Structure 1
Amino acid sequence: MEILNLKIKKLKEGELFFTSPHVDFKGRIKMPFKGVVEKVKLTQPVLKFRFEKKNKLNLSFIKKLPPIHLLSINKGEFLLSFANSTQIIKISDIDLEVKDFSPEKGGRIGFNGNFKILSNNKAGITGEGNVKAQFKFSKFFPVPAGDGSLELYIKSGLYKSSSFKNLVLRFPVSVDKEKMVIDSISLNLDTISYRCDDTERVLRNLNLHSSFFYDFKTGTMSSYITEGKLSNLGGFKGSVQGTLRDNFPWSASLEASEVNFETVYSIFKPLFPPSYQKWFVEGRGLIEVHIKGDYTKKKPSWAGDMALYLKQGGFGSPDGTKAGQGIEGRVILKIRSPISEEKVNFELYSEVGEGEFLWRKFYKDFSGEKIKFNSLGSFFLKSPTILEFQGSFDLFGTGEYTYSGLIQKDETLFALKAQRISNNKILSIFKDYLSLNFPSFSNIQFDGNSQLDIRVIRKDGIISTEGVFEIKNTSLNIPNKSLSINQLNLVLPFDLLYPHSFGLIYNNSKNKTGYLKIGMFEEGRLRLEGLSIPIILSKNNLSIPEEVQISLFGGKVNIANFNGKEILSSSREFDFGLRIQGIDMNSLSQWLNGVNISGLVDADFPEVRCHENFLDFQGKAIAKIFGGEVEITNLSIKDVFSQSRNISGDVVFRNIDLEKVTENIKIGKMTGIVEGSIRNMEIEYGQLSRFILDIDSVERRGVQQKISVDAVENISILGTGSEDIGGILKSGIRSFFKEYPYSKIGIRCTLENDKFSVRGKIYSGGREYLVRRSFLRGIDVVNQNPDNIISFKDMQERIKRIFRAKEGKK
């Protein structure tokens, strides 16, 4: 201790007055005086303390203090540091006044000071504010007794990415030998904010009011109704009770009556994927929590329940294509942690329904309908933590659903069993969607039940799925499409891996074979009976282990060696062989477009491959029609499942009887034999988009070559757009002739980039002919404008003119 310029003055008998401008003291606090201190005044003292973690706070020195009538500190400073911590608490501008103090009789204490919480690194807590206190004690030992209040104001505080502003805590307290009462404690806070992904989230205007009671004799503690409010979340209230002795029983409750889900979502929004952070969420709710516990045999146990009620909930995506409104629901969670086991058991019940739901083109009004969900499980607290659960749910009354699962650090398992699924009830969920987007399916009927048994395992980044899906003795009817399927049976065992199975080694267990069986399939004039197809869906491959033969339109269709590889991958491939024998062309054409074309169709495609949405046919198909044959090769389909699918191929036709053609296609009677080809043919959106068509007549002994006036007129319309030649042929002496002989037909039509042209292939005397007359008699059809090019739309209009004229003549 160092004391400079000490002055001692005797005031009266037994009283001394000490003054010194400088006192430097280091060491333990010991009382050097005995007697009574009348007055101590300290100006600008600096007190420094270091709190060692191993030492306990010992206030027994207060017993040794002498009575003090007045202790005054002005402009003092207090510094507190901690072992193994960079935190420092600094209180400055301290004004402290202690009056009439003694360890036995208490005293009055008044305190005021500004404080700062400092940290030498960014990981610590920082803040600044002011603290005030007023206490009146009747004694300090053995148990303090008295009353007073503490007011703490923190202007701002910061911890990592979280901060708050303007916190005010008022803490009135009363203590006697039996109890401690903290009456009307209040906490007010302007803002709490935190930053996540460069986005700041803010909670505003927190208000909390409570009272607290503690009985020293019984160890009982309790809080009266605690009430609070966050302006952008809603109000809440609660209570706490307990006993700090024996097995420490305690209980607590909380109720938040007006939870704003829009604000709740804004707080947790950074945890969602970026695409969902621009969505809006709305709704109000009620939360109730009741929990109790104790501490028996040095182990805590507790149990409780939580209830969440949602009213008028809603959500929406930024583009408005996904939305929900008017959603009602409740969630009830019961939890229990037994003393003897290091786990938490839970029981969960939820019910959600009502409201309207929109997801892209799907819309459904769920008024009066609900999803119900029950679950039981355990959460094991030992490392590594494990979550086990099982339960059931009701999906709008569509069937019986049960599930179970296990979640741990390196592995997740989930099993679902769905039984007696009503196919029609499942379809009813999508009824409005089908009516709006697929009118022909609006009255679809799908009788009978289905069931699904599935098991999913996630491990090492791979998801494996196995199970079986079954549909038994059901029927499907689509009246608007005249389609019906009766006695439909499907048993499909499966085992799949995601994202792919490349490079994985499987066990040698035998693949399970399922089947698809159809008693009767009818679609318009199409009719199939007794269809049976074996199916293997295993290791991401789909295969048909046997050759399948289907009786169709009086012929047979054989599918062999069907195999689909990596069907869950974007690089999936399908390979099979296709053979068609003796299909009746008349039945096929009637089914396709309602016309009668006699003939037979055969095809042999030893290899058909589908890869990256491209279907390629190796082989050929031959249709024996119109007295000749039509051969199709190089057939392929691009973008198979798109409306813009592109169909391409080459067609060669031989020995086609024009008389039979013109009997079916009413463009005017013609006789003779033609051959030719359609090369580079492409069809997009169901219409021809590219081709080169060549037609040439071929002389055959005994076959006449004649062309009617109507046919000449229609060929002229197609080639030039003009009907003038018809007027010439129907006037004068020519009006007595209905047909003319010809010696040669040669026509080439081309279409590319919506540019259509018709050219003659016969050249003579500098002219281009489409049809050349016979030697003695006949008529020539000359292409007067060989360079004429029109759009394909105009060409279609010319064809419509021909058939409108035919309709008019009828």
Structure 2
Amino acid sequence: MQIAIETHEMEQGRQGVRHARFAFAAVLLSVVACLLAWGVPAYAITSISIEADSVEADTAKLRKVRAEWKLDGVVQVQADIRPAESADWQAVSLACMQPARPLPDAWQCAEGKLTMPGVNMPFSAQVVQASGKPQYQVNVRLQQASFSSPAGTQAAEKLDARLSLDLQRQAAGWQWQAMLDWTGGELYWQPWYFAKGGHQVSARGYYAGDVLRVENAELKLAGVGNARLQGSWQAGKLQDLDVDAQELELAPLYALLLQPMLTDGALGKLELGGKVGVKLVLQHGEPVSATLMLKDVDLEDKNGRFALYKLNSRIPWSYNEAQVVQLAYAGGHVLKIPLGEASILADLNRYSLTASQLYLPVLDGALSLTDISATRAGGDWHWHLRANLIPISMPALSHALGWPRMEGKVAAAVPMMTYSGGQLTVDGDLLFQMFNGSVAVSNLSMQTPLGATSSLRADLEVQRLDLGDLTRTFSFGAIEGKLDGSVKNLLLSNWQPVSFDADFHNSPGRYRKKISQRAVENISALGGAGAAAAIQRSVLRFFNEFNYSKIGWRCQLSNDVCKMSGVEYTSQGYVIVKGSGIPAITVMGYNHNVGWSDFLSRLKRVTEGNASPVIE
């Protein structure tokens, strides 16, 4: 280490010492200051400089260290620094202008600046000692500071903040009181982004060795509300914590703190209103009790998947005692299906929740849930229940879903529904009664049902649907008869078809089998050929409807291509509608492979009633 005292007339000799620690350098600075005060003429000194080849500490290493104090009050420190967890050296510079008239028993930096790669931090600072006692007051102010980490995970722009810290030496440690007032600027600390200031933290506590105790702290979040907490840390680990936050505004709290942690989940895009209260107690690093209270909360998914309105709840939890959960809402919807007013009670015992029965109104029916059991294990929820869907009218359901009006009712009985690791499975069939027939859904399973990447697998069986009701509902042109069919190995991703094997055909038995000219044209528009042209070129154009003996269509969807077939194969293609009697007409298909997106666009044009026949 080298110490230099420079004057107008002479330069003292220099002596080198390497690998000194910070404590030794601080002591040496103090000695030099004393010598100057006692015996060196002040008018003869213009600057004092200290140099060190390297300085080592537990958290960082420094090299090429140079500290200089000038007579005009300017203090400058320059060095290369390498944090303990880094392999790279970075140049750091600290400059400080001391006031012309310093306070007694005080160290002041009226204008300071810390600079290093990614850091530009202007500041002012003051440390005042109370009349020689071990009692100090520290004040620091950041002014338009900015910084950014190399990885971009932390950054700030135009940051203004004030920090005050009072320290008083006790027998074995320090009693402290602090206040941080963030008045302006932007801060990003992954994953949180604070667009402006207005937040405050005040606290008091005790520090000794590796123990930090917060006896009382108050956090004020601008636009959100206040929270009180106390806790203790030992060796950098949280030991005890007590948080009490009442009447927080949920919408800004979600945007500021919660949404950045939920971006990939079902709760990642919500519109919220209402208030929330939270209580949390940790002892010896483990949670022992918590309470979540919601007051008049409106919650709606921006993607339209679900919503609850006027949600009120009190959800207490205790590690040692069973608690009763209370939850009620005035209405809502799931996948656009309206939910009626409901009130829910359940027992919460540590990490398990049970309820004997829940009755949830849905449209003009209800969902009755029984034998409900849920457990939190391995970081995931696992639950099962039995369900009965009390009949819901299909006209109301189809209206809610934006479908064409359908007649009949839908009901279901599910012996067991299980959810584990994001996977929902159903043991039993869902039965839909519609179009004077039935649709049964079996082998139903879903992955992350309300997530952004949800998937569904199922098999469907259709029996004796009334083709007249079906075709009138979808404005397809009239077809009279009955329809059977199946959809095997259905896979939906984010509610869009990925693959399936669909096979539909007229039901066996005696009944009226008629197809209108408009229906024939629309089938031709979907990929059939020849029939529409034959009608226009012959006497068939004078008939409004035709007889058929068979009608059927099969699509095997894979890789966005539908492999099509019909009720029979011919040398030219396949038969979609096979005529019978007089007048009769046969509709053929010739393209076995059709793009699924193209097929859907054709179907949309047909059902909207503005399609012209497409003859290929």
**Is the partner of 2:598 in helix, strand or coil?**
helix
Change (3 A) 1:653 1:407: same
User: In the aligned structure 1, how far is the partner of 2:259 from the partner of 2:322?
Assistant: 40
2:412 corresponds to 1:603: yes
2:31 corresponds to 1:181: no
C-alpha displacement of 1:355 = 1.6
**Is the partner of 1:515 in helix, strand or coil?**
strand
Contact 1:234 1:256 in 2 (8 A): no
1:622 paired residue number: 431
C-alpha displacement of 1:401 = 2.0
C-alpha displacement of 1:780 = 1.3
2:517 corresponds to 1:691: no
1:637 paired residue number: 446
C-alpha displacement of 1:730 = 2.8
1:421 paired residue number: 248
1:260 paired residue number: 113
Contact 1:411 1:457 in 2 (8 A): no
- 1:243-293 deviation line (CA, Å, top 9, x unaligned): xxxxxxxx8422233443444xx7xxxxxxxxxxxxx34321112111246
2:361 corresponds to 1:551: yes
Which of 180, 197, 200 is matched with 1:350 structurally?
180
C-alpha displacement of 1:206 = 0.9
1:789 paired residue number: 593
C-alpha displacement of 1:582 = 0.4
2:575 corresponds to 1:769: yes
Contact 2:314 2:327 in 1 (8 A): yes
**Is the partner of 1:289 in helix, strand or coil?**
strand
Change (3 A) 1:800 1:361: farther
1:564 paired residue number: 374
Answer 1 or 2: higher relative contact order, Cα 8 Å, separation at least 6: 2
User: In the aligned structure 2, how far is the partner of 1:411 from the partner of 1:363?
Assistant: 24
Bigger drift between 677-686 and 775-784 goes to 775-784
2:239 paired residue number: 412
How high is the sequence identity, in percent, across the aligned residues?
19
What letter matches 2:594 in structure 1? I
User: In the aligned structure 2, how far is the partner of 1:169 from the partner of 1:378?
Assistant: 28
User: In the aligned structure 2, how far is the partner of 1:314 from the partner of 1:393?
Assistant: 24
2:540 corresponds to 1:710: no
Contact 1:560 1:576 in 2 (8 A): yes
Q: How many residues align?
A: 585
Change (3 A) 1:335 1:162: closer
C-alpha displacement of 1:770 = 1.8
Contact 1:617 1:636 in 2 (8 A): yes
Change (3 A) 1:151 1:546: farther
C-alpha displacement of 1:521 = 4.0
The alignment's TM-score, normalised by the length of structure 2, stands at 0.82
Which of 799, 803, 806 is matched with 2:603 structurally?
799
Which of 378, 401, 420 is matched with 2:206 structurally?
378
Q: What is the root-mean-square deviation of aligned Cα atoms in Å?
A: 4.4
Contact 2:367 2:387 in 1 (8 A): yes
**Is the partner of 1:797 in helix, strand or coil?**
helix
Change (3 A) 1:751 1:161: farther
What letter matches 1:371 in structure 2? H
Structure of larger gyration radius: 1
Contact 1:238 1:254 in 2 (8 A): no
Change (3 A) 1:759 1:358: same
Contact 2:125 2:139 in 1 (8 A): yes
User: In the aligned structure 1, how far is the partner of 2:600 from the partner of 2:56?
Assistant: 65
The alignment's TM-score, normalised by the length of structure 1, stands at 0.63
Contact 1:682 1:689 in 2 (8 A): yes
Change (3 A) 1:163 1:704: farther
Contact 1:317 1:323 in 2 (8 A): yes
User: In the aligned structure 2, how far is the partner of 1:522 from the partner of 1:173?
Assistant: 77
Change (3 A) 1:797 1:355: same
- Structure 1: any 5+ residue segments left out of the alignment? 1-126, 133-148, 211-224, 242-250, 267-279, 295-300, 497-508
Contact 2:20 2:52 in 1 (8 A): no
C-alpha displacement of 1:429 = 5.5
User: In the aligned structure 2, how far is the partner of 1:424 from the partner of 1:800?
Assistant: 39
C-alpha displacement of 1:511 = 0.9
Which of 127, 140, 152 is matched with 1:289 structurally?
127
User: In the aligned structure 1, how far is the partner of 2:301 from the partner of 2:450?
Assistant: 21
Change (3 A) 1:735 1:476: same
- Structure 2: any 5+ residue segments left out of the alignment? 79-92
Change (3 A) 1:745 1:483: closer
**Is the partner of 1:771 in helix, strand or coil?**
strand
Bigger drift between 628-637 and 516-525 goes to 516-525
User: In the aligned structure 2, how far is the partner of 1:764 from the partner of 1:643?
Assistant: 45
2:551 corresponds to 1:745: yes
Which of 302, 313, 316 is matched with 2:145 structurally?
313
- Residues 272-287 of structure 1 correspond to what in structure 2 (within 5 A)? 280-287=118-125
Which of 478, 493, 513 is matched with 2:324 structurally?
513
Change (3 A) 1:653 1:161: farther
- 1:33-63 deviation line (CA, Å, top 9, x unaligned): xxxxxxxxxxxxxxxxxxxxxxxxxxxxxxx
What letter matches 1:490 in structure 2? S
C-alpha displacement of 1:314 = 2.7
User: In the aligned structure 1, how far is the partner of 2:179 from the partner of 2:447?
Assistant: 50
Change (3 A) 1:667 1:520: closer
